[in-house]
Each structure stands twice: as C-alpha cells, then as structure tokens.
Amino acid sequence: MIGHTDNAVEIDAPIGFLWEQTNDVRGWTELFSEYAKVEVLDETEESVTFRLTMHPDEQGRVWSWVSERSWNRDTWTVMARRVETGPFEFMNIRWTYEALEPDRTRMRWVQDFHMKPDAPVDTSGMTDIINRNSKVQMELIKERVEKRRQAVIGFGDVPSNQRRGGDLRTMVAPNTVGSSSGFCGAVRLAPGEKVSEHYHPYSEEYLFVAQGTLRVDLDDEPVEVPAEHALLIPRNVRHRLVNTGGSEALAVFQLSPLAPRPELGHVDTEPAEVPT
C-alpha cells in the first residue's frame, strides 16, 4: 500500500507573498514549529537542496534528513522529495497554490510515500501521523503568514533606493507585507535635491509632504506643496520632486493600483543624478 495524504488550507495573503514566504527554506524555523535547523547545501534559480533537523522527539531522538525542492512559479507548483529517505522507501510531496482572491490563497500539500519494512511505524500509521501533523503545521503557517501582513515597517527596516535621487524607501509593499492593490513609502530629500522625472503607466500616486516644501513638476508645470499638504499625481503624468526649502523634506507616497510587474511600474523620462 502506498501512503497518500491530501491537505489544504486557505490563507489571507496574495499568492505571490505566500509563495515567497513558504519557499524560503532558510526561514522555515520561523514558519514551522517542528524544525530546529535548516542548512542549505545547494541551490539554483529553480531548486534547492537542504538538510532539515527537527527538534528532539519525546524520546530525545533528533531526526535529520536531506530534501530537494524544485518549483515552477508559472504554474504555482513545487515538487519536493527526500534525498536521504531514512525510514521511508520514498517520500514525494507536491505543493500547489491557487489564488482564490487577490488577497486569499489556497495552499495544498499532496504527499505520496511508503515506509521501509523495519521502520518504527508502518505506512498506514505514518499516513495518520502525517495527516494530523499537516493540519497543525498548515494552521500555524496560516497564523504566522497572516500576522506578517500586519507588520509595522520602519523607514530603516528596508533598503534605500537612490536610483532617481533622494533617499527613497518602499515600506508597505507586496514583498514586505503582501499588499495586493498598491504600495507606499517615504522619501527624504536634502535642500536642492530632487527625484528625477518619471511617470506611472498603471498607477495614481498620492503624495503627502510631512515636512519641508517640495516643488512638484507635473508635465513641466510646477506646483508647490508645503508641509502637511497632499497632491494627487494622475496616471501617465510626468513628475519630478525638488526640495526648494532650506531644510530636509520628508514626503510620503502611495501608488495604486499595482502594475502587472514591478519593472513596469515606473518609466524614467530623464537621467537620474548619480548619488555621490
């Protein structure tokens, strides 16, 4: 008899965010409750081989084995297998992800396996164990991933983007908290500093100046935005931000909806000043 289990859970997170969170094996000790250590042995753009070490069981035994995962993001599928099979003759797992809504995803694990004759538990018994444990771990992943979407992100928590000028940080975004319809962040500009001209083919931008004064050039028409004032930058409107005051300016921005892919979200229309 071949052991077979099929379990699924629905998680309130976009499919791309859930995919990244659950396929980062280095973070599995923070995602699953059963793993004490993960050691990556080899990886490519489409696969990873790694050693998993569990927490000691009730008898104090520590189980460890090498697994391999390969994925296809186009079909939202992952194939996994144990390289070091231990008590299993074989163990294969298929992970699939299905977008139910923009911010809700079904994750499914289908496992096929067979135990060795001298294994401490037979195939039927292991089927019961895996079914019970899969439900526990899936609920834990659901709880932890959904909690990560509520994270408070600081300006210093994300890398600085200075490609267009200024110190720009995107904080609430698909990759940080799994936002599904837009993103927001902030930019700091020293006196005289600017963010070079560009436009957004898919998104409106909402700009709020928290401190200082900015001149925003909208299709070459300058608009002054003082502190505690806001401005809408419509889709496809070229815009440039310039700090015209004598002190540092801080502006908060939000863009919505999202572009189909991140690289399509901005179109540069002038060379950026390279930061020194």
Give 46: exposed, middle or buried? Use CB within 10 Å, 0-12, 13-18, 19+: exposed
**239 in the same domain as 262:** yes
**70 in the same domain as 111:** yes
Question: How many domains does the chain contain in total?
Answer: 2
The backbone torsions φ and ψ at residue 257, rounded to the nearest 5 degrees and listed phi first, read -75, 180
**225 in the same domain as 173:** yes
The backbone torsions φ and ψ at residue 249, rounded to the nearest 5 degrees and listed phi first, read -110, 145
How much is the pTM? 0.89
How far apart, in Å, do the first and last CA atoms of the chain sit? 67
Last residue of a domain, one of 148, 171, 190: 148
- List per-residue pLDDT tens for the chain, 276 residues long: 899 999 999 999 999 999 999 999 999 999 999 999 999 999 999 999 999 999 998 888 888 999 999 999 999 999 999 999 999 999 999 999 999 999 999 999 999 999 999 999 999 999 999 999 999 999 999 999 999 999 999 999 999 999 999 999 999 999 999 999 999 999 999 999 999 999 999 999 999 999 999 999 999 999 999 999 999 999 999 999 999 999 999 999 999 999 999 899 999 999 876 555
Answer for the pair 137, 55: CB distance below 8 angstroms, yes or no.
no
**160 in the same domain as 261:** yes
User: What separation in angstroms does the CA of 35 have from each of 29, 46, 149?
Assistant: 5, 23, 23
* 124, 127, 129, 130 alpha-carbon torsion, rounded to 10°: 160
CA pair distance 86, 52, nearest whole angstrom: 12
Burial 189-211 (b: 16+ CB within 10 A, else e): beeebbbbbbbbebbbbbbbbee
**129 in the same domain as 204:** no
**99 in the same domain as 77:** yes
User: Residue 222's domain spans which residues?
Assistant: 155-268
Last residue of a domain, one of 131, 148, 165: 148
Q: Which residues contact 263 (CB under 8 A, 6 or more apart)?
A: none
**142 in the same domain as 188:** no
**161 in the same domain as 72:** no
245: in domain: yes
CATH of the domain at 164: 2.60.120.10
